[in-house]
Amino acid sequence: MANRTRLSEGRIDQFFSGPNARADQWRELVDVAHAWLAGGKSRTDFETALLEMVPIEEFHAYPGPHLMAALRDNSAADDARSVLSLVTRISTALLTRSFRGHAGDWEIHDEGSESVPDLLPPTLGRSETHRPYFETLIVTGVPSERWPALCAEWRGLRRPLDAFIYEPVFVGSVEDAFCATMLNPDLAAVVINEGFVFRSRHDVPVLRTLSESLERKYKAELSALQLAQLLKRVRPELDIYIVSNRRVEELAGNPMADVARRVFYSIEELLELHLAILEGVQDRYDTPFFDNLKKYAQRPIGTFHALPIARGKSVFKSDWIRDMGEFYGPTLFLAESSATTGGLDSLLEPTGNIKIAQEKAARAFGADHVFFVTNGTSTSNKMAVQALLAPGDIAIVDRNCHKSHHYGMVLAGAQPLYVEAFPMTEYSMYGAVPLRTIKEALLNLKSENRLHRAKMLDLTNCTFDGHIYNTRRVMEECLAIKPDLIFLWDEAWFGFARFSPFLRPRTAMGAANDIETWLRDSASVAAYEKQQSELGKNPSNETLLKTRLIPDPRQVRLRVYQTNSTHKSMSALRQGSMLLVKDIDFHTVEAQFHEAVFTHASTSPNQQLIASLDVARRQMELEGYGLVGNAIEVSLAIRKAVAEHPLISKYFKILGADGMVPAEYRQSGFTDFLAPGSNWAIALRSMQDDEFCLDPTRMTLVCGTAGFDGTQFKGMLASRYNIQLNKTSRNSVLLQSNINNTRSDVAHLIRVLVEISHEIDQRLTQGGPNVRKTFEERVKSLMTDVPDLPNFSSFHESFRKDAGKRTNEGDIRGGFYTAYDAAGCEYIRLADPEIDRRLTNGPQLVSANFVIPYPPGFPIMVPGQVITKETIDFMRKLDVKEIHGYDATEGLKLVRPDALAKRAGATTKHAA
């Protein structure tokens, strides 16, 4: 069985096996049972297959010991028919997840009930109220023979009043507790009783690789508190309860006990514990703003203010727009309001349920504060930049970042010092900015005594194409050079990463929390001082660039901001975004933040957007772990199918880490998730150590090798196959898996790729040599005749303001406003030879505005920038249709040389 091979090899795709792979294993077991009944396989085959599934099944409540024992008993009685019947029912219940609400699935014998698993969404198929289901992990020292009795005791605590229903899952060791936490996405709470052992009862290679690092770290001994810390690190959203029979006061007083929601004395308190578990889940389930909006929609409210659409009367009574009402349904209109009172709150000055909703979001995302934003991360970025930067401040910015940052700099009057990402010329895209480049910028500023002016480092993590920074290392090394530098991480695409233990340490907040822990550790000062004495008094810049710098924990002011487009990776409506703050000096900028909110936020924020941010948070806290695991699982399935399919792989490939990240930034030597010999432990090392790693959910599918440019291929997928995607490059398209994807989506995509590959194959085999030659030429043109990516040149002398000699910052706002003087600007068409003449003989061409091809959406020209030959070559070869700031009939908008001269004169006079 394919899965069994994978299990023993401990492959990465096995590790990321969520419910899908488990369901596969059960279906394969059904096949074995079928074959046994038909005579093709034996009872031993069945029993071997079942036995191999036992360790992982023990981490889940369903089918549980009762049904597993029934399977074993039926098998021992040589009753293949009963085995097949039961194994089929279990497999179906797991696949449809019906066991969460259908009691019959837990019975050994099918009582022939009529009830069919409810496959329809609740509003269509179910009328009775639905109680959400979860599982609670119980770590215990009680021998496993007594677990069934304990399980009965836990179930006995259920009351009809309970808002949720849960099943206990028992484990007796640290290793099993750890593996269950990693592998069971349904867990919402953990109860740790003292008396457990370290080693698992099972010896399964994939589990061993999962837990061997534990053994190294903890030397096979862990207290309940240490175990609580460990599990909380894997899944911070879980509620942890510790039950102790001794010294409970001492335990509760230990600062490490912060990770536990409550500490209980002995098992006598079982009902209290049960109620605490339900209350803990309720706390995550509560969505203060959404709950109030639902109540508001039920009230008979007469409106005598704006927003006639509220309550829907102008819609439903109309002959002409009633279809809108029918399309959206009455609830949307009942939930519309421009009120900020009567149970609702004001996004601009929240004091009630929006405030609480934001506090809950801060808890969920590991921040100190969260601002909900209803106009996309485009707005969150502008808010952060405006609040944190003032005119004259220098910000080190990835030139490649989203345009909102550049516009933010214009608004703030800050001086961007652009740094370059490593180019991926072959695919016409950029990677991320190497740490060396960032340190060099800071050290150059320092050499020129301008470091005090550098306020912020502004980067995109992960990039559109999936490059993830080593956020912790970047921040630590920068803080070693400038201890109060502010970090703005644009995680527009990466909000979901909080809910994966692999990705979390690489998020802004994950790293900030780790740095905070490090700052509190007494060993940190010693580490800093040791490095200082090794570096000596005045280390050269080259030495500092080569050294992994340690900051001085006593000097560091940790100031980290993250923006995320909640709508891009979680269940928020379009434009729902969050701005996360973890800033020890937030009190010094809080007033500015409110000004930034007032500047950018609409005074009529959309209620549904705010509610969806609240709900997205609830979902991620309760099922985000499984959903993100599923998104990763789906991406690995797509990667595998494309790589292994003989026909697809002839024309297409998905770039692995080695294709996306140059070897010098993959210090661990990691090549790809599915490379031979790769397992999850190796991938983990890459996540820990490498300068950049790849988000597996972002798949660059190279289509140039199939003769399609990115735009053409994207259009074909949309028009012929109803497959939507967003970003393209000259020879690739970007596929993204997210929490919404299913295996049917994967199947559809793979079928489509097979069909397209088949068509190409047929055309090439049936067409003559000319067809083949044309195809080869097209592939060559797409894959090798690619334009060089233009680096940022410099601001024109008259826009450099007071920039230093070695740094390239400039007055982007000054550049921006020159475009407002129509007489001072000129247009030259891209094909006009005048462009080439000016490039050779001058005067310099200076852009009057932003020129931003979309996608990818970063500016290849900013206002005041000197235009170089590389930029012109790139523009001339560019094959995207939408280029913001460029009108092909008018040409490039430039600042006239005489306007530049006038400006330079004015600047000099002013300076004198």
Smallest gap, in angstroms, from Cβ of residue 577 to ligand PLP?
5
CA trace torsion 412, 415, 418, 419 (10° rounding): -100
Q: How many CA atoms lie within 13 A of 466 on its CB side?
A: 25
Segment 546 to 575, residues that bind ligand PLP, using CB under 6 A: 565
Q: Is the dihedral of CA 635, 638, 642, 643 positive or negative?
A: positive
The encoded tokens of residue 875 equal 């523009």
Smallest gap, in angstroms, from Cβ of residue 408 to ligand PLP?
11
* Nearest to ligand PLP of 370, 481 (CB atom): 370
* Nearest to ligand PLP of 462, 682 (CB atom): 462
Smallest gap, in angstroms, from Cβ of residue 830 to ligand PLP?
26
The encoded tokens of residue 899 equal 């306007």
Smallest gap, in angstroms, from Cβ of residue 609 to ligand PLP?
11
* Nearest to ligand PLP of 292, 563 (CB atom): 563
- Does position 373 bind ligand PLP by CB under 6 A? no
- Write down the residue that tokens 């933010």 correspond to: 408
Please give the full DSSP string across 102-168, using - where no structure is assigned.
-GGGGSSS-----PPP--S-HHHH--S----EEEEEEE--S-GGGHHHHHHHHHTT--TT-SSEEEE
Smallest gap, in angstroms, from Cβ of residue 496 to ligand PLP?
14
CA distance 3 to 14: 8
Smallest gap, in angstroms, from Cβ of residue 576 to ligand PLP?
8
- Does position 400 bind ligand PLP by CB under 6 A? no
- Nearest 5°: the CA angle 874, 458, 440 is 80
The encoded tokens of residue 107 equal 């019975």
Smallest gap, in angstroms, from Cβ of residue 272 to ligand PLP?
44
* Nearest to ligand PLP of 75, 378 (CB atom): 378
Helix intervals (H) in 645-727: 648-651, 657-660, 680-689, 710-721
Q: Which of 289, 372, 464, 561 binds ligand PLP (CB under 6 A)?
A: 464
> Minimal CB distance to ligand PLP: which residue?
376
Reduced to 3 states (helix: H, G, I; strand: E, B; else coil), residue 234 is helix
* Nearest to ligand PLP of 404, 612 (CB atom): 404
Stretch that binds ligand PLP, among 122-130, 229-237, 299-307, 374-382 (CB under 6 A): 374-382
CA distance 623 to 650: 38
* Nearest to ligand PLP of 450, 727 (CB atom): 727
CA distance 63 to 108: 10
DSSP state of 575: T
Q: How many CA atoms lie within 13 A of 719 on its CB side?
A: 6
Segment 275 to 314, residues that bind ligand PLP, using CB under 6 A: none
* Nearest to ligand PLP of 386, 577 (CB atom): 577
Burial letters for 462-500: b for 16+ Cβ neighbours within 10 Å, e otherwise? bbbbbbbbbbbbbbbbbbbbbeebbbbbbbbbbbbbbbb
* Nearest to ligand PLP of 378, 428 (CB atom): 378
CB atoms within 10 A of CB 43: 16
Stretch that binds ligand PLP, among 26-34, 371-379, 392-400, 545-553 (CB under 6 A): 371-379
DSSP state of 495: G
Smallest gap, in angstroms, from Cβ of residue 635 to ligand PLP?
19
Smallest gap, in angstroms, from Cβ of residue 856 to ligand PLP?
8
* Nearest to ligand PLP of 408, 707 (CB atom): 408
* Nearest to ligand PLP of 465, 476 (CB atom): 465
CA distance 10 to 269: 40
Count of residues near ligand PLP by CB under 6 A: 12
Segment 589 to 618, residues that bind ligand PLP, using CB under 6 A: none
CA distance 75 to 750: 38
* Nearest to ligand PLP of 489, 499 (CB atom): 489
- Does position 372 bind ligand PLP by CB under 6 A? no
Stretch that binds ligand PLP, among 373-381, 442-450, 706-714, 740-748 (CB under 6 A): 373-381
The encoded tokens of residue 369 equal 């504060």
Binding mask 840-869 for ligand PLP (x = CB under 6 A): -----------------x------------
* Nearest to ligand PLP of 276, 488 (CB atom): 488
Segment 156 to 215, residues that bind ligand PLP, using CB under 6 A: none
Smallest gap, in angstroms, from Cβ of residue 565 to ligand PLP?
4
Nearest to 698 by CA among 613, 631, 787, 623: 631
The encoded tokens of residue 794 equal 């410099």
Smallest gap, in angstroms, from Cβ of residue 464 to ligand PLP?
5
CA distance 829 to 886: 10
Smallest gap, in angstroms, from Cβ of residue 98 to ligand PLP?
37
Say if residues 779 and 704 touch (Cβ distance below 8 Å). Answer: yes
Nearest to 783 by CA among 653, 635, 876, 642: 653
The encoded tokens of residue 464 equal 């559109």
Smallest gap, in angstroms, from Cβ of residue 569 to ligand PLP?
11
Smallest gap, in angstroms, from Cβ of residue 855 to ligand PLP?
8
* Nearest to ligand PLP of 379, 679 (CB atom): 379
Reduced to 3 states (helix: H, G, I; strand: E, B; else coil), residue 893 is strand
Q: Which of 172, 376, 624, 696 binds ligand PLP (CB under 6 A)?
A: 376
Q: Which of 404, 415, 612, 700 binds ligand PLP (CB under 6 A)?
A: 404
Stretch that binds ligand PLP, among 375-383, 410-418, 522-530, 549-557 (CB under 6 A): 375-383
Q: Is the dihedral of CA 523, 524, 530, 534 positive or negative?
A: positive
Smallest gap, in angstroms, from Cβ of residue 639 to ligand PLP?
22
- Does position 577 bind ligand PLP by CB under 6 A? yes
Smallest gap, in angstroms, from Cβ of residue 163 to ligand PLP?
34
Q: Which of 3, 244, 377, 562 binds ligand PLP (CB under 6 A)?
A: 377
Establish whether the linkage from the previous residue to 853 is cis, with ω within 30° of 0: no
Q: Which of 3, 17, 209, 378 binds ligand PLP (CB under 6 A)?
A: 378
Smallest gap, in angstroms, from Cβ of residue 857 to ligand PLP?
6
* Nearest to ligand PLP of 393, 490 (CB atom): 490
* Nearest to ligand PLP of 188, 383 (CB atom): 383
Q: How many CA atoms lie within 13 A of 705 on its CB side?
A: 15
Instruction: Provide the strand spans (E) within 429-473.
Output: 429-430, 454-460, 467-469
- Does position 460 bind ligand PLP by CB under 6 A? yes
Nearest to 236 by CA among 499, 13, 629, 440: 499
Q: Which of 490, 672, 690, 691 binds ligand PLP (CB under 6 A)?
A: 490
Nearest to 708 by CA among 720, 697, 698: 720
Binding mask 798-837 for ligand PLP (x = CB under 6 A): ----------------------------------------
Give Cα separations from 278 to 54, 98, 152, 161, 166 (angstroms): 29, 21, 18, 11, 9
* Nearest to ligand PLP of 11, 402 (CB atom): 402
CA distance 40 to 25: 19
Q: Which of 94, 383, 456, 492 binds ligand PLP (CB under 6 A)?
A: 492
Smallest gap, in angstroms, from Cβ of residue 425 to ligand PLP?
21
List interacting residues with ligand PLP (CB under 6 A): 376-378, 402, 404, 460, 464, 490, 492, 565, 577, 857
